[in-house]
Amino acid sequence: MSEATSYYGHHIFFCLNKRENGEACCADHNAQAAFDRCKSQVKARGLAGPGKVRVNKAGCLDRCQGGPIAVVYPEGVWYTYVDQNDIDEIVESHLQNGKVVERLLTPPHLGR
Ligand code: FES
């Protein structure tokens, strides 16, 4: 049995992928602004750091149909957000209080 513990309590990745060929991509849905908002909210709430929360950029997570996409580990919960209010809710409910935001879950069948 592994003794390893998770370095971060929650780790959220935002797809920031940009496609130039016209195909769907998260960058076309304000992914960068959402990432920036998440980072600033996590910091403002004192949630950033080891044992707490880490916010990271990611490339394509291969679920572009559900974009814009963010995924939270260790639970592996996938979110499709729309605006800044959605990001604030993910931060407060999930990252701060451990409660999944059901209304923002990416539909399970949506892939690339
Ligand atoms: S472009 Fe964001 S999941 Fe593929």
- Residue 103 alpha carbon to ligand 1 centre in Å: 20
Kindly report the CATH class assigned to 10-104. alpha beta
Contact criterion met (CB below 8 Å) for 35 and 16: yes
Hey, where are the domains in the chain? Answer: 10-104
Beta carbon of 34 within 6 Å of any ligand 1 atom? no
Distance 65 CA to ligand 1 centre (A): 8
Element (H, E) at 77: strand 77-80
Over the stretch 20-61, which tens digit does the pLDDT of each residue have?
998 889 999 999 999 999 999 999 999 999 999 999 999 999
Instruction: Quote the pTM value.
Output: 0.94
pLDDT at 5 over 80: no
Cβ neighbours for 50, distance < 8 A, ≥ 6 positions apart: 7, 8
